[in-house]
Structure 1
Amino acid sequence: MLNEYSLMMPEKIYSGNNSLEKLKLLVMDKYKKVAVFTDRGIRGSGIVDTLFDILEECKIPIVVFDELPSEPTWMEAQKTVDAFKEESADCIIAIGGGSVMDVAKLASIASSGEYGVKELLEDPLRGVKQVPAILIPTTAGTGSEATPNSIVTVPEKNLKIGIVNPAMIADAVILDGRALIGLPKKIAASTGIDALAHGIECYTSNKANPFSNMFAMEALKLIFNNIIPACERQDAVEEKNNMLLAAFYAGVAITASGTTAVHALSYPLGGRYHIPHGVSNAMMLLPVLKYNKEACLKEFSEIYDEVIKKEQGLSQEEKADLLLIEIDTIIKRLEVPLSLKAYGVSKSDLEALVHDGLEVKRLLVNNKRTVTEEAARMLYLEAMEAEG
């Protein structure tokens, strides 16, 4: 565990039933023009209408960017940033999933025209905050609303790459469970498993510390107790609120610690095969956790004691095994795809995946057990041969 550590968080956070109404406090009489970042799917939901009504009540002109693609390339992100620059808006409100929030965060630091997304990929810390950003997640998973990270696909490298800059920490966050009503189960499930991965990875990271452990453990408690009803029942607003809190807490844990080999090995799956981020993490989660078990017995045991606690008097290894069984049960119950073959990935792709995965050194250095070339090959093979 690190001896020195720090914590970054948004300046203001509102959570709970009807917290979207707090938007009035954040924007009334403060801005001349607001840019709303969202996507077509989210715009069709009632939560965006509520946001528009609030902004109309505040008498603030708005411009809407709703053509943001899911899991964008850096070029697609740049296109949106360029369109935003033309509008001279002095505030950003992003309402959507991780991709929407990630592009909005890039726009908040890249609107001067002095540099673009490509330059930020090469030198992330070049960016400085130019426009305040208010983030409203509509999925409980990515934790983008809490992090200084923006993930973009880099086609020329067949990878997703994270641009990390403290200036991208949101100025305000609103967590309202109503934003998750109507979210399809498969999206709720995959993003929820993403949050679960964040919690476990941050707790077992080489950079884990008291700050990250506190938020990661609280996230895991909420996830294990709420993820199934939150995904399976549209009327489970309390559970959806809890999952939003969990995803936020796990995002805060990322800022203080960092994810590990699960995310590192999943990035090529998104970059090469366009597998949704939450799904690719679910595919790699159990293989990596099993591989890491011998190096993470203490951490797995602690998570069992705090989160599951079904049996007493167990050894660390027994607790670790039961934790992995519990995760497997949740993933299968939620019917998240686990087999790479379902996405057309075959053994002929293996060496390219291994090469690309091992390039994500920013995250692999956090993994308690070294991921060798042989190990990466084994982990991808396990995901290829998985059922479901």
Structure 2
Amino acid sequence: MNIFTTVISGGLEQSLQILSKDAHLLVMTDGNVINLDKVQSLISSLDNHGYHYTLISDLPAEPNNHDVERLIDVLPTDVDVVLGIGGGSVLDISKLISVLYSGSSPSVDFFNQLLAGTKPTARIPLVLIPTTAGTGAEATPNSIIALPEKSTKVGIISPLMLPDYVVLAPELTTSMPSHITASTGIDALCHLIECYTASVANPVGDNYAMIGMQKFFANIEKVIESPSDLTVRLNLLWASYYGGAAISHSGTHLVHALSYPLGGKYKIPHGLANSLLLVPVMKHIYPHCEEKLANVYRLLPQADMSLSDSDMASKLVVYLEHLVKMLGLPTTLNEIGIEREQLTELAAAAMQVTRLLNHSPVKVTEQEVLKLYQSITN
């Protein structure tokens, strides 16, 4: 098994070149992605060229432990390669399933052991094709599963989760509605900027983050203006991939810690939850990491290089606030159905995400977390 990923960029048709006709493929996607013309064409190509495959096309968004248990019940017993095509949820489940096939047939017992902290030791071959430019799940060693009873999510994490191949096919992202393009794009930015400012940041992760942010800032507004531009779309896929690579070497912190309860309990899409929390978190941390946020500001196409680091960091927060509004994303929790009386429970749940809170450049109390939620609630 190879844990070093090969990235193929530029077109979906190239993915067939890496699939063996002798293997039993488990093709995993969701109800939206399976209806894309390009994906239907890929499935037809599998049929026409004699590939042996099983298709599962109803994977849930924001999967929880019960969703995975139901999936395990319907999986075939013998699979040689997992091919995941979709957004972060599909890719995360695909990574997890490739591990579950490493022993005998996938079992709920093995899954529960992984949730409890058992580290994966093997997986079967894995190919991932992202259909959104946001999660970077194709480049992370994580599989994130919601635990609704605990109002949060848990990450099953191992270098073995990294796939053998990633195919970056920009034509798959052109059919995304503009609000999905926007929220997944902000998700990619959160990965990049959080990893760059994390307490566990390091030169390798920083390098990935800076390259990814440069691609993001240069293309995020263009993609709204020219949604069919495949060069812009591919650049954003690379930004997303670099975000995942940065996570592999560093880690996200407060934005993700506070967004986990929104997804885990209320099924708020991950990118949308992150876009709500990006600005309040950056306002909270920027006095503690002015130099790094000034470096991020310098990547903006319209950056004023004459400013001091402190002013650059402040201006970056202003730009991020403008960007979220310009992309048409919600700016208050009320807009997604979360009311003020629910915030105490959210804050308590967020404080349980210690893995991410420990990466924060500034430590936070439960009361401070509550105030961050309150700052975006009417």
- TM-score by structure 1 length? 0.92
Contact 1:124 1:165 (C-alpha < 8 Å) held by counterparts: no
Equivalent residue for 2:229, pick from 236, 239, 242: 236
For residues 9 and 128 of structure 1, do their structure 2 counterparts lie closer, same or farther at Cα, with a shift above 3 Å needed?
Answer: closer
After superposition, residues 171-190 of structure 1 pair within 5 angstroms as 171-190=164-183
For residues 280-329 of structure 1, give each alpha carbon's deviation from its aligned partner in whole angstroms, at most 9, with x where no partner exists: 11111110111001111010011112344621221111101111122112
Please report how far the alpha carbon of residue 130 of structure 1 lies from its aligned counterpart in structure 2 after TM superposition: 3.0
Equivalent residue for 2:184, pick from 172, 191, 206: 191
1:4 is matched with none
Counterpart residue type for residue 270 of structure 2: H
2:67 is matched with 76
Quick one: distance in 1 between partners of 2:214 and 2:204?
Answer: 16
Is 1:50 aligned with 2:41? yes
Please report how far the alpha carbon of residue 337 of structure 1 lies from its aligned counterpart in structure 2 after TM superposition: 1.3
Quick one: distance in 1 between partners of 2:204 and 2:366?
Answer: 32
Quick one: distance in 2 between partners of 1:174 and 1:89?
Answer: 21
SS of equivalent to 1:145? helix
Contact 1:9 1:146 (C-alpha < 8 Å) held by counterparts: no
Quick one: distance in 2 between partners of 1:259 and 1:117?
Answer: 24
Range with bigger deviation, 150-159 or 222-231? 222-231
Contact 1:142 1:251 (C-alpha < 8 Å) held by counterparts: yes
After superposition, residues 360-375 of structure 1 pair within 5 angstroms as 360-375=353-368
Number of equivalenced pairs: 373
2:305 is matched with 312
1:261 is matched with 254
Counterpart residue type for residue 110 of structure 1: L
Equivalent residue for 2:135, pick from 142, 153, 168: 142
Please report how far the alpha carbon of residue 10 of structure 1 lies from its aligned counterpart in structure 2 after TM superposition: 4.3
Range with bigger deviation, 303-312 or 163-172? 303-312
1:33 is matched with 24
Range with bigger deviation, 276-285 or 305-314? 305-314
Equivalent residue for 1:160, pick from 131, 153, 157: 153
Range with bigger deviation, 202-211 or 340-349? 340-349
Counterpart residue type for residue 91 of structure 1: V
SS of equivalent to 2:135? coil
Contact 1:10 1:173 (C-alpha < 8 Å) held by counterparts: no
SS of equivalent to 2:375? helix
1:327 is matched with 320
Equivalent residue for 2:55, pick from 56, 64, 71: 64
Counterpart residue type for residue 35 of structure 1: L
For residues 229-286 of structure 1, give each alpha carbon's deviation from its aligned partner in whole angstroms, at most 9, with x where no partner exists: 3245331211111110000001000000000110001111112222111111111111
Contact 1:136 1:175 (C-alpha < 8 Å) held by counterparts: yes
Quick one: distance in 1 between partners of 2:276 and 2:133?
Answer: 18
CA RMSD of aligned residues (A): 1.7
Quick one: distance in 2 between partners of 1:133 and 1:365?
Answer: 31
Is 1:107 aligned with 2:101? no
Equivalent residue for 2:113, pick from 119, 123, 144: 119
After superposition, residues 213-362 of structure 1 pair within 5 angstroms as 213-308=206-301, 310-362=303-355
SS of equivalent to 2:217? helix
2:83 is matched with 93
For residues 93-149 of structure 1, give each alpha carbon's deviation from its aligned partner in whole angstroms, at most 9, with x where no partner exists: 111000111111110001234643322111141x23332110000000000000111
Counterpart residue type for residue 123 of structure 1: G
Contact 2:122 2:160 (C-alpha < 8 Å) held by counterparts: yes
For residues 335-375 of structure 1, give each alpha carbon's deviation from its aligned partner in whole angstroms, at most 9, with x where no partner exists: 11121112222221122111100110000010011111221
SS of equivalent to 1:62? strand
Contact 2:123 2:160 (C-alpha < 8 Å) held by counterparts: no
Structure 2 residue runs of 5 or longer lacking an equivalent are none
Structure 1 residue runs of 5 or longer lacking an equivalent are 1-7
Contact 1:308 1:323 (C-alpha < 8 Å) held by counterparts: no
Please report how far the alpha carbon of residue 162 of structure 1 lies from its aligned counterpart in structure 2 after TM superposition: 1.5
For residues 376 and 347 of structure 1, do their structure 2 counterparts lie closer, same or farther at Cα, with a shift above 3 Å needed?
Answer: same
